[in-house]
Amino acid sequence: MAGTPSTTQPAMGGGGSGPNLLRTRTPRSVGENAIRVSLFVAAAISVITTTLIVLSLLRETVAFFGDVGATEFLFGTKWTPQLAGEQQSFGMVPVLVGTLYITGIAMLVAVPLGLLAAIYLSEYAPPRVRKIIKPILEVLAGVPTIVFGFFALTFITPELLRPLLGPEVQQSNQLAAGLLVGLLVLPTIASVAEDAMTAVPYSLREGAFGMGASRLIVSLRVVFPAALSGIIAALVLGASRAIGETLVILLAGGSGQLLPQIVTDPTQASGSMAAFIASTATGDAPTGSIEFETIFAVGFTLFVICLVLNLLSIRLVGKYRQVYE
């Protein structure tokens, strides 16, 4: 019932007349404050959670480096953390190479296909086709990754790779994992890149068409460069997903638990950092043991890699960003 004083009444206090402009406490202003506070709490929770995760990672990682030298971990090429005694070695390079190898194959598949799909959808496809394909792409991006892994394990390797490349292809192999991770990130890259290209103002295309550019030239020499920042973002997003991908690799590419040397043969199993974490964490490494701490050290390294990748993309996106009115 905090009625606002009528503006026709003389203002209280001073001799001046006119509308009352003073702040008053009304039920509405209290409500506004409550909303502001709860929004702040929601924002704070996500920041705090992330900080706590990093801290807990960091604690075990520090404990790990009390036992294992950083040089051995970062540059050693023998990865046998599960073995006992003399055999145990913590050189992370093989599992890092495995991660990058599989990611590399995945990007070889996903980048050309994804960008071609994006160009088709944004520049060539009739509106009706686009309306159908774009949602399908977005749904594909949400297919559970275990499905892709299972498909690689039960179809790609036995039905495709072995008949083509011979029986020496291992059941888990980098090629199958890479191909499927590629298919997994393809819709993400296509969809985000397509958004970036569609966002390029039509007037730029008109300018180029108006001087006799073909559709191909408009796509490649006008739209593509103008959308470069968004396209880079799409590629980095795809690469981050590939690097962090766990299940497909665990099922079809190797667990990353036992890599006495770097694997360079695509038909052999390796594994990735994420697959290693998943397989070891679900194994029977006792809490507080060195094997247990290894998970955190690898996890922390993965975290740093993804962080660097994201910072890099923010810089690149900023560098190529073009603001249109």
Partner 1 sequence: MPDTTRTAESDPTKTMDEPTGSTSSSSAHEVSPHLEPKPASETPSTETIFDCRNVDVLYSGKLAVAEVTAPLMKREITALIGPSGCGKSTFLRCLNRMNDLIPGAEVRGEIIYHGQDLYAKDVDPVQVRKHIGMVFQKPNPFPKSIYENIAFGPRIVGMKGDMDEIVENALKRASLWDDVKDRLKDNAFGMSGGQQQRLCIARALAVEPDVLLMDEPCSALDPISTNRIEDLMLEIKEQYSIVIVTHNMQQAARVSDKTAFFTVDLSAGESNRVGRLVEHDVTEKIFTQPEDKRTEEYVTGKFG
Smallest gap from Cβ 117 to partner 1, in A, equals 20
By C-alpha distance, which of 156, 220, 154 is closest to 182?
156
Interface residue with partner 1 among 203, 284, 287, 318 (CB under 8 A) is 203
Nearer to partner 1, 156 or 233 (CB): 233
286 binds partner 1 (CB under 8 A): no
Build a one-symbol-per-residue string for 114-153: x at contacts with partner 1 by CB under 8 A, - elsewhere: ------------xx--------------------------
**211 binds partner 1, rule: CB under 8 A:** yes
Task: Judge residue 85's burial from the number of C-beta atoms within 10 Å of its C-beta, 0-12 exposed, 13-18 middle, 19 or more buried.
Answer: exposed
Of the candidate residues 28, 221, 315, 319, the single one contacting partner 1 (CB under 8 A): 221
Q: Which is nearer to partner 1, 46 or 203 (CB)?
A: 203
| Residue 322 binding partner 1, by CB under 8 A | yes
Identified binder of partner 1 from the candidate list 217, 281, 307, 314, rule CB under 8 A? 217
What sign for the dihedral angle of Cα 219, 120, 138, 203?
A: positive
CA dist 224 → 57, 138, 231 (Å): 40, 21, 8
Strands 79-80 and 89-90: antiparallel
DSSP string, 251-277: HHT--SS-BSS----TTS----HHHHH
Does position 201 interact with partner 1 (CB under 8 A)? The reply is: yes
Determine the interface stretch with partner 1 among 39-47, 209-217, 245-253, 270-278 (rule: CB under 8 A): 209-217
Alpha helices in 166-223 (DSSP H): 174-198, 202-209, 215-217
Nearer of residues 141 and 213 to partner 1, judged by Cβ? 213
Residue 171 β-bridge partners? none
Decide whether 25 or 202 has the Cβ nearer to partner 1. 202
Residue 201 CA, distance from chain mean position: 27
- Per CB under 8 A, residues contacting partner 1 are 126-127, 201, 203-204, 206-214, 217, 221-222, 225-226, 322
